[in-house]
Structure 1
Amino acid sequence: MFKQFFATSALAFATTVCVAQQKVTIKVVDEKSSALKNATVTVGNTTKQTDLNGIVEFTLASSSAQKLTIKHLGFKEFATTTHSSQTNYNIKLEVNTIQSDAVFVYGTRAKENSATTFKNLNKEDIKKNNLGQDIPYLLDQTPGVIIGSDAGAGIGYTTMRIRGSDNSRINVTLNGIPLNDAESMGSFFVNLPDFASNTESIQIQRGIGTSTNGAGAFGASLNFQTDALETNPYAELNNTFGSFNTWKNTIKAGTGLIYDTYAFNVRLSRIASDGFVNPSFSDMKSFYVDGGIYTDKHTLKATVFSGKEKTYQAWNGIPEDKLETDRRYNEFTYPEQTDNYWQTHSHLHYTYTINPQWTLNTALHYTRGKGYYEEFRENDKFENYGLDSIIIKDKDDNTASVIKRSDLVRRRWLDNHFYGVTYNVNYKPNNQLNLTLGGAANKYLGDHYGEVIWATYASNSKLGDKYYFNDATKTDVNVYLKTDYRLDKWLFNADLQVRSIHYEAQGNDNKVKNFTFEDDNLFFNPKVGTTYFISPNANVYASYAYAGKEPVRKDYVENPKNEFPKPEYMQDIEAGYRYSSAVFSLGANIYAMLYKDQLVPTGTLNDTGSALRINVPNSRRLGIELDGLWNISDQFSWAATAALSKNTIVDFVEMVPVLDDNWDAITEEPIAHGNTDIAMSPSTVISNNLTYKALPNLSFSLLSKYVSRMYLDNTSTEARSIDPYFVHHARAIYSFSAWGLKNVDLNLTANNLFNAKYETAGYTWRQRMENSTAIEHYNYYYPQATTNFLLGLNIRF
């Protein structure tokens, strides 16, 4: 396979050398002949963006005529055909008065050159990686990101960390509407399979970032913009086949603009995989529908998208002693040990451009979610389910036996509603000043309950009985004011947010009876920054932000110290340098994230695979991040990132449980460790993407990722850690037009090219028996797939 791969590369390179080529220069300007930066220019199947001077260069075969299209936000799309005799094009774009969907994300995104550390991924970046793997896998080549999968192949339940922070600290919005679950604060993309197929762009803000809606952002923010308005009708068929019986089938279509006013889009998707871990299958289905009215001043767009998933549970990982003998091991064997959940999102956006200075944007949203996970329990106690012991009398000798346990199957349910309103008003009186007032009010209603659906001995249970029931309510209201002011070579940013949260729950939990609490938090989250423009191509920036964040549900229910959890607070100091040209771009920044009462993982998981956490008084994350791109030539480009950090808990004290002979905790033993590394926070994360364009429509890429040692708990002990790993992937993309089809894309990706054996996550726990002085520990890991392949075929009509 590899010989054929490299032979194909060599043949393509030779072909390139032999074909006569010429350089074509394209300059894009507006109606006032001012240069348009970042215009998207496509010649044939090659896409580039204009530089600060509105210029982009292509190398084309001199004998060929190819389609040339240019797109830029706020302007009408331009299309023509190149001529073999013409090497210079000066193209003026017309202003497009139809409102763009981009206004939906305007209030919560960092603007160009603002004093915030961020990275944007456009449609082309997303398309290259969209082969059915979950959203985190699209972000793997961005600074400080670590991804992984319970099933090992990137489909089903996936994990993501940015700057060492897990998804409960990563704020996610879809067109400005919060996605994070209100109680766990996690974002579970398994509930939105193939959402990438309707994603126009993603902005990743690292650190606190700009004010946004939903859960507080302590590690990062992800802001998704769904597909931008397409003026022409289209249809797409996207399919993927790969290792572990992986399939992705997508059909997508849109009407384009009807009567220059109306537009509709629809998508149906199915993703299925057996998974690397055996068993760990996934079966996911989704749909997406939108319809909009677009006029000069008004945009009204309704969107409904839904996902349904069934995944076999692999969230327990595998024990350490299985890593060398059976990396695909799963301790679950019950055929229906599955997670089942469906979630439907309904959004209604309205934008009103009052005049060139004033814009109003508002949205209503409602999310309905319901599902359960089913599991087999061996010899479980009746008392855990509120059931009576069974007394069986022997008629012959008049004796009795008591049955207190039974094998059983249970389902644990989530049944929730989330709804609210978001808004922002933007005022831009001139090119120097920009003001945005925005906010949101959201309500969450969630029921948690459990049912026993089968038992060897049913005791006094009835089908449909709930052995626990707990309902929760959470209200989240925020308001923010942002301002940008440009003065000569200086840009000043200020961002003030007030956020109020009321959270209460009552009833019985699975583990805690009479679990009732009420908590109120009020946070003031200020951010200030400044950018200095060294030249049109370069600037430096610095910012300071302060924010607070409330605990999540598990912090109240399963607090290892049996304490009421505290909110956590952070100061975030950032400074950086940015340079951009057509040939080379570089982003470099340093940061200091200083925490008070940070909730850090103990290393132990609960029974749904979620990390248990405790407050630590003082901790910090210090680091430097680099993000560069070098267009070495028309054929070669190199992109690389590096994130170097020191993540420290100050004077950490570990509490080791002491167990009696019945394995019940009777006390805790404190162990002082001094300054230690925060769990699951590597000091080094490096990525690399080397791309060779053999032809304008044929490219080969080598992608690499290195992650240093990660400790499973907060003791900095190598025996409880994940070894460093260095993994490589290869990708080949070929695009062409034929047989009346607008575009055909072939994408072959080889993941883990050199068959590395590595793990991306894990957990541990320690304990001491009452009658022993030895402290024992147990490690579990999540191994990732060995060499595997994905082949994608995308056809656009």
Structure 2
Amino acid sequence: MQKKTTVWLAFLALMLVGNVALAQRVLTGRITDGQQPIAGASITVQGTVAGTSSDNDGAFSIPTDQETGNLEIRYMGFLTKLLPYSNQSNLGTIVLEPNSNEFLDEVVVVGRGVIDIAEGRKTPIAVSTITQKQIEAKVGSQDITSSLANTPSVYITGQAKGFGETAMTTRGFDQSNTAFLLNGQPINGMDNGSLYWSNWSGMSDIASLIQIQRGLGSSKLAISSVGGTINFVTKSTEKQQGGFLKQSVGNDGYLKSTIAYNTGLMSNGFAVSAMFTHWQGDGYVDGTAGKGQNYFVSLGYKVNDKHNLNLMITGAPQWHNQGYTATLQKYLDNGRRFNSNISEVDGKSVNYRKNYYHKPVANLNWDWEIDDNASLSTVVYGSIARGGGQSQRTDATDERVPYLAADVNNHQWFGLVTNYNRQLNEYLNFNLGFDLRDYKGEHYRQVTDLLGASAISHTGNVNFDGPIVTSNTYSTNPWSAWSDRPGNAEDRLAWDYNQIIRYGGLFGQIEYARDGFSSFFQGSISQQQNIRKDFFQYTSGNQKSKDVNNFGYNVKGGLSYSIDNHTFFGNAGYYSRQPFQNNIFMNYANDINPYAENEEIVGLELGYKFTSQYIDVNLNAYKTTWANRVTGESRNASAEDVETYNPTGDPSLLVEGDYLYFSYYGVKQDHQGLELDFVSRPFTGLQVTGFASLGDWVYDGVNTSITRNEDRAVLATTETDRTGDQVGNAAQTSYGLGASYKIIKGLYVDADFRAFDRLYSSKESKSGEVMELPSYQLFDAGVSYEWNITPKNTLSFRVNVNNLFDKYYISEASTSIFQEDGAEYWNGINTSNTVLVGVGRTWNGTVKFTF
């Protein structure tokens, strides 16, 4: 028995060390920046496929059968180091030298010319960068937006609405006024600028880097964001063979499983990386269960030293039930997990509000190193999406038969971005490129469940006489949505129209840098064509709108000067931005909106950066004005809304809980503020981070507001002077601290504190006042442990607890109701206000095996 045990132990040991046993020796060492260990540095034996990465203590070990050679050591933001070795096995402490110009080479393997990372330009901007290691540690079961929570002037809300329902503001501007790019590809909706994180639920798995550029940013594209630009850089095809298995669990039945594998660079020049994820959970708020997958495939091919190709395909099919706002009193009576979308059906709690979507994205990157001074980068991309949002409806008969229907939002989107870069001389660099997009959106309502009825009837399509009877139903499975869709007009309810948008932009940049001084100038011009085809409200031959063509442009420039550890900079820009199509055509018809002129955005920035061995500090001041502003929002109708917008009490117009849609025109926004962030390394093993932002964001002028119900019927048109009103749904004052500390080798603990103040409602009261919400503070904590089983096999653990002290707080409000006779109050807030209460204490844990 003892002999058999010995044999099995020997066999197990052989399996663990794998090819290490075949190597003649193992090279070891420790990577640092001169003070702190560097975790995640890439170490390879030059000329071989042998490779590994440094652990949390900077330590590494790598097997090799070569007696002499060079180790190639790479890490983001540092110079690549070639370290020769001969007879020694322990290489000791290896210090890497910082060099921000190497940033792109380390992280952006493909698409260098079209992926606008700030370090690609010498003149600084207000920027925060989140690495893959930080994303993996912090996100857990949350949306990818949570990784940006500890940055200045960023406010995250909507977590309580369900999986993928978060929203973020940047310097007080919402997501439709922040540009989001995926490997250089614009991903904001072309019709309204919106971004729905449920469509990108796999982003936390595939992102190797997130960079938020507040304000003017460094983007060379012909885009004009108001709040800033956020770049998501995905993993590219890995050059080394290996993979990982990861399992996550969390509160309320959350489970997530991931498997990934990389072939490494093969002898034929190809390499393939693939990943698949499945997740599911019941949701923190009652009735907000969800389930989905994420797939990622990246195929790389190194044609030769001049040409490199990479094809990426990714998607995140998912469905999730939705929560929404309610009166504060309902939360206090029913608990913070209360969901106003839940109703009682046959004695059971049912939530019919559901989002389902599948949005595959493919992009092909081609990088061409023309010569030592010139390069061309091009990305061709496409996205074909299917899905929508389900709710309960009633048919057009007097019996008002209930059924479930989905408002469908399909689209197909193709584009190309290309950028030519040339180093004109030692000090002067030049870029020129263009951006082409073609978009078609398809919108209608379809029956998903007859709820026991044999058929339902609907009206409104002018191409049919009288009510139309429909008995067909269509799936809300995100995979089935591709093929299970109505091909006939009889099964398309409420509306049926297409949006067509064609966009072309030309952009360029020139930058000069010498002896600590740098300057840049960027400019772009663009032309956008908008067409609307309505098959519901118009007869054949009259369904196409007039073509609406808008010309836009932007210019921006800046100066900076660096001396020793100090850098001073200033940037300024002006944008003339075309309105979104949803604001060009009025009344959900082909009527052209006279208010929809180009929006005018002016941005001014001043900044200071200090870097040293122990601390890095950034201080920014900004002023942004946004005129000819055209925006919109939606929310569940409160009892006050029903009283205001449906005084006759007609249930076909509006009942409590229905969606209301608001369009706003005319008012200007004026945002200014200060931002501070720092990273401190007081001694080995401890890192302290901090941020603070102080904003003053107000409206200026008379606002024209059009309110519509779920059938897009106009309920009211009002004009309000909003001069001096505070901009809502984002904390104008925020600050926070974070710390990470190494207890022993491989074991780290970390914690974050965030505070939010001067948060206002998004809607003014009947008298024109805006309600201020109570300030609040949040604490998060986590612990990580990494065990290097062998030089190539690692087992790591991570546990997060968010809102550690279970703070009860209001994250947003959509009414401003003040003092009333007989009213109840919570922290000075009238409890009849419609609000969203933040998520309480949550947790998640992850175990990952890397091989």
With over 3 angstroms needed to count, the CA separation of the structure-2 counterparts of 1:479 and 1:109, relative to structure 1, is farther
- Alignment counterpart, residue 357 of structure 1, candidates 354, 357, 373: 373
Distance in 1 (alpha carbons) for counterparts of 2:775 and 2:105 = 51
The equivalent residue for 1:781 is 835
The equivalent residue for 1:71 is 74
With over 3 angstroms needed to count, the CA separation of the structure-2 counterparts of 1:442 and 1:629, relative to structure 1, is same
1:750 matched to 2:753? no
Q: Deviations over 1:108-149 (max 9, x none)?
A: 332354242222222222222242421111111111111123
CA contact (8 A) 2:531 2:544 kept: no
Distance in 2 (alpha carbons) for counterparts of 1:640 and 1:92 = 22
CA contact (8 A) 1:345 1:365 kept: yes
Deviates more, 1:587-596 or 1:664-673: 664-673
1:696 is displaced (CA, Å) by: 3.8
Distance in 2 (alpha carbons) for counterparts of 1:415 and 1:781 = 31
Distance in 1 (alpha carbons) for counterparts of 2:514 and 2:530 = 43
CA contact (8 A) 1:603 1:713 kept: no
SS class of match (1:582): coil
CA contact (8 A) 2:40 2:75 kept: no
With over 3 angstroms needed to count, the CA separation of the structure-2 counterparts of 1:39 and 1:82, relative to structure 1, is farther
1:408 matched to 2:403? yes
Distance in 1 (alpha carbons) for counterparts of 2:716 and 2:390 = 33
- Alignment counterpart, residue 572 of structure 1, candidates 589, 603, 610: 603
1:423 matched to 2:407? no
What's the TM-score once normalised by structure 2's chain length? 0.76
Deviates more, 1:560-569 or 1:342-351: 560-569
Map 1:36-435 onto structure 2 (within 5 A). Answer: 41-42=38-39, 70-72=73-75, 75=80, 86=92, 101-107=108-114, 108-110=116-118, 111=120, 113-151=122-160, 155-213=163-221, 216-259=224-267, 261-294=269-302, 295-314=304-323, 316-326=324-334, 327-333=336-342, 334-377=350-393, 380=394, 382=396, 389=397, 403=398, 405-435=400-430
Distance in 1 (alpha carbons) for counterparts of 2:811 and 2:673 = 21
Deviates more, 1:622-631 or 1:176-185: 176-185
CA contact (8 A) 1:144 1:625 kept: yes
- Matched AA of 2:387: G
Distance in 1 (alpha carbons) for counterparts of 2:408 and 2:292 = 19
Deviates more, 1:72-81 or 1:281-290: 72-81
CA contact (8 A) 1:75 1:96 kept: no
The equivalent residue for 1:581 is 612
CA contact (8 A) 2:318 2:356 kept: yes
1:680 matched to 2:688? no
1:231 is displaced (CA, Å) by: 2.6
- Matched AA of 2:548: D
SS class of match (2:113): helix
1:84 is displaced (CA, Å) by: 7.8
1:437 matched to 2:486? no
Distance in 2 (alpha carbons) for counterparts of 1:668 and 1:307 = 39
- Alignment counterpart, residue 446 of structure 1, candidates 441, 445, 454: 441
- Matched AA of 2:786: S
1:525 is displaced (CA, Å) by: 0.3
Distance in 2 (alpha carbons) for counterparts of 1:731 and 1:323 = 29
Distance in 1 (alpha carbons) for counterparts of 2:300 and 2:73 = 24
CA contact (8 A) 2:433 2:507 kept: yes
The equivalent residue for 2:668 is 618
SS class of match (1:323): helix
Distance in 1 (alpha carbons) for counterparts of 2:658 and 2:574 = 32
Map 1:564-713 onto structure 2 (within 5 A). Answer: 564-599=595-630, 612-652=662-702, 670-672=719-721, 674-713=723-762
With over 3 angstroms needed to count, the CA separation of the structure-2 counterparts of 1:77 and 1:239, relative to structure 1, is farther
1:643 is displaced (CA, Å) by: 1.1
Identity %: 19
Distance in 2 (alpha carbons) for counterparts of 1:279 and 1:71 = 47
Deviates more, 1:706-715 or 1:587-596: 706-715
CA contact (8 A) 1:417 1:444 kept: yes
Distance in 2 (alpha carbons) for counterparts of 1:202 and 1:426 = 23
Q: How many residues align?
A: 717
Distance in 2 (alpha carbons) for counterparts of 1:602 and 1:268 = 35
With over 3 angstroms needed to count, the CA separation of the structure-2 counterparts of 1:516 and 1:604, relative to structure 1, is farther
- Matched AA of 2:280: A
Distance in 1 (alpha carbons) for counterparts of 2:261 and 2:222 = 31
SS class of match (1:324): helix
SS class of match (2:673): strand
Deviates more, 1:744-753 or 1:597-606: 597-606
Q: Deviations over 1:722-761 (max 9, x none)?
A: 4322111001111121267622221110110000012323
1:543 matched to 2:551? no
Gaps of 5+ in 1: 1-22, 29-37, 47-56, 383-388, 390-402, 768-775
SS class of match (2:329): helix
Deviates more, 1:471-480 or 1:596-605: 596-605
Distance in 1 (alpha carbons) for counterparts of 2:260 and 2:404 = 40
Q: Deviations over 1:240-285 (max 9, x none)?
A: 1010111111111101111272211000011222111110112111
Distance in 2 (alpha carbons) for counterparts of 1:423 and 1:719 = 46
1:515 is displaced (CA, Å) by: 9.4
CA contact (8 A) 1:559 1:614 kept: no
The equivalent residue for 1:522 is 551
1:430 is displaced (CA, Å) by: 3.4
With over 3 angstroms needed to count, the CA separation of the structure-2 counterparts of 1:174 and 1:440, relative to structure 1, is same
Q: Deviations over 1:640-672 (max 9, x none)?
A: 11111100112455769899xxxx988666554
1:212 is displaced (CA, Å) by: 4.5
- Matched AA of 2:428: L
- Alignment counterpart, residue 583 of structure 2, candidates 535, 555, 560: 555
With over 3 angstroms needed to count, the CA separation of the structure-2 counterparts of 1:101 and 1:60, relative to structure 1, is closer
The equivalent residue for 1:19 is none
CA contact (8 A) 2:813 2:833 kept: yes
1:205 is displaced (CA, Å) by: 0.8
Q: Deviations over 1:586-642 (max 9, x none)?
A: 010100002212235678569997973412343210001111011111132210111
Distance in 2 (alpha carbons) for counterparts of 1:777 and 1:242 = 32
- Matched AA of 1:282: G
RMSD: 4.0
1:198 is displaced (CA, Å) by: 1.9
Distance in 1 (alpha carbons) for counterparts of 2:593 and 2:388 = 27
Gaps of 5+ in 2: 1-28, 44-53, 63-70, 343-349, 458-467, 473-485, 638-656, 819-829
1:458 matched to 2:452? no
CA contact (8 A) 2:505 2:525 kept: yes
1:91 is displaced (CA, Å) by: 9.4
With over 3 angstroms needed to count, the CA separation of the structure-2 counterparts of 1:232 and 1:43, relative to structure 1, is closer
1:791 matched to 2:845? yes
Distance in 2 (alpha carbons) for counterparts of 1:261 and 1:96 = 24
- Matched AA of 2:372: P
The equivalent residue for 1:497 is 524
1:784 is displaced (CA, Å) by: 2.5
The equivalent residue for 1:727 is 778
SS class of match (1:632): strand
- Matched AA of 1:631: R
SS class of match (2:571): strand
CA contact (8 A) 2:664 2:706 kept: no
1:335 is displaced (CA, Å) by: 5.0
